[in-house]
A and B are shown apart, each in its own frame.
Chain A
Amino acid sequence: METLTTLIQFADFSFSYSGSSDLILKNINLSIEEGEFVLLVGPSGCGKSTLLRCINGLIPHLYNGMYQGKVVVDNKVVSETDISELATKVGFVFQNPENQIFMFSVEKDIVFGLENMGVEREEMRKRLDWALRILDIEDLRYKAPYELSDGQKQRVAIAGTLVMRPKILILDEPTSLLDPKTARDFILTLKELNKELNITVIAVEHRIDLLTNVADRIIVMDNGEILCDGSLRDIIQRRNLHLYGVAVPPIIGLQNTLSEYGIGLSRLCLNVKEFAELLRREEYKL
């Protein structure tokens, strides 16, 4: 059996932004293995975005503050490593599709990171072709940003990070400004990347209905602390998740409330068809 490598580790970590005495993150202890697909949720202001930024080094290198404890990513201590070096291990996709595309054409934007790293032209071309193919955006190669839809822009953003061959991909509410169908396709692409390239994915999302079939693990935060951390199936069955701003999909909320009434199916169903099927089969047992 393969042993999993711990890629990300937070040890007794706390942080507050400079100028503020309130701790945004309080005593975080967390470890994430290679290949996981982690969903990070919690009410607005709970520290999720801050946590993400501690992984790729934006904190503490771009944002100062009181930094306590240790964060280690791929065996490098974040506070002692340059962001630009961490960028080769951790790709970050932001919420706003517009503000992460710098160049006038898709092609040039995707190789931006490689140009910064001083990669050879031939290698750049190879990686560019690969990224365009994997994200199914080959037809967008020469287009300008204003010609792209938001969903396409988000794909270009991922491509721009993928070419740097990161082991970890972090996404901060990436589908927030996308319509449901585009969001759905986007999440499926993420899952493919996770499975086929073994890239560890950590996503902050409010719309967890899109991710119930996709994420293995969920971490719930509130007020700077980790409330619960475990398998998605286990934790989503806890009714009180909606108190933390998490929108539990109706079909799961229904199963949870039924189980309180003693009506429990043999397993938690994550979509309606599955639920209806199981209900029909097991009904006589209830």
Chain B
Amino acid sequence: MIEIKSLYFKYSNAKDYILKDVSLKIGLGEVVAIMGSNGSGKTTLIKHFNGLLKPSEGSVKVFGKDTRNDSVASLSKRIGLVFQNPGHQIFSDTVWNELAFALKNFGLEDDVINRRVKWALEFFNLVQYKDTSPLLLSGGEKKRLCLASVLAWNPDYVVLDEPTVGQDFLQKEKLREVIKMLVTQNKSVVIVSHDVEFVWLLQPRLILLSNGQVIRDGKCVDVFSDKEARQQCGIIMPQLLELYEELYPRIPHPPVDVLDARATLLRSLARGA
């Protein structure tokens, strides 16, 4: 459970607050998307989850413990953050070592490390690269590797910062599958993203940030439908939701994906004349 109460944050030598009066709770097994225009404080907010940043005022509690009383390393064991640029973390001589890095830092035993690295290699299709230098992987593979290295230590919360940037359609599909799998394991996935269509397919809880404040927090259908909120954050409506609004009440609910839309439309066309 991540519990944030009246969080205010600014850097010590700055005059303006980046985050203002943010309050929210994220339990286990949730999929949460955080959206907002650039500079709205999204990345700053997620850095509070694992203690990289500590609140200027207010509190951030993770599993009941205040983050101010805990180290980043200790918090990271249960809250895994995957940042946007793989180039900012890849450094080992082999993919195996790259995956094992965090596990070693967390003091896990060798046999546990071996098991988890093996799992990560197989699950993310990186087995053939086990002994290669991670720097030789392609861009998409590097992103997979970064996600794999975080999942290797099995955190309860997985926080992804702009995971879809530069990814093509197939890569995004795979990512969605991974997210679905994590939720079935009762983990929580928090993603910060600009990608409206990607977020729509996940049907997550959606939190909108504008200028450091939470302006909406709820089911994505409701939040995306809020025109003012959208304008404030500079985001557009997902196409299928827009279709629902255009054709309402002909179609009863907003379609989640293309197949759903097709089925709904066919039914409504069959009915009406």
Contacts and interface: CB of A to CB of B under 8 A. Distances in A.
Direct touch of chains A and B (CB < 8 A): yes
Interface of A: 43-45, 149-150, 173, 176-177, 179-182, 184, 206, 209, 242-243, 245-251, 253-254, 257-258, 261, 263, 272-273, 275-276, 279-280, 283-284, 286
Interface in B243-273: 243, 246-247, 257-259, 261-262, 265-266, 269, 272-273
Which interface class (under 10, 10 to 19, 20 to 34, 35 or more) fits B? 35 or more
B236 A276 contact: no
A163 B37 CA distance: 31
B214 to A, nearest CB: 18
B14 interface: no
Interface in B54-113: none
B37 A245 contact: no
A149 B38 CA distance: 9
A245 B173 CA distance: 10
B197 interface: yes
A176 B262 contact: no
B243 A276 contact: yes
A234 B259 CA distance: 22
A90 B210 CA distance: 39
Contact of A283 (B169, B258, B259, B269): B269
B171 A44 contact: yes
Interface of B: 37-39, 138-140, 165-172, 194, 196-197, 234-236, 238-240, 242-243, 246-247, 257-259, 261-262, 265-266, 269, 272-273
A206 B138 contact: no
Chain A contact surface mostly = helix
Which 3 pairs show the lowest CB-CB distances between chains A and B?
Answer: A245-B168, A276-B246, A181-B234
B203 to A, nearest CB: 14
A263 B171 contact: no
Contact of B265 (A150, A182, A250, A258): A258
Contacts of B39: 149
A180 B266 contact: no
A261 B38 contact: no
Contact of A250 (B240, B246, B273): B240
Contact of B169 (A247, A263, A284): A247
A111 B186 CA distance: 56
Contacts of A258: 262, 265-266
Contacts of A275: 243
B118 to A, nearest CB: 26
A180 B262 contact: no
Contacts of A180: 194, 196, 234-236
B235 to A, nearest CB: 6
A263 B37 contact: no
A206 B166 contact: yes
B197 A209 contact: yes
B44 to A, nearest CB: 16
Nearest to B139: A44
18 contacts: A44-B138, A44-B139, A173-B166, A176-B166, A179-B234, A181-B37, A181-B235, A184-B236, A209-B197, A209-B239, A245-B171, A247-B197, A251-B240, A263-B266, A275-B243, A276-B247, A283-B272, A284-B273
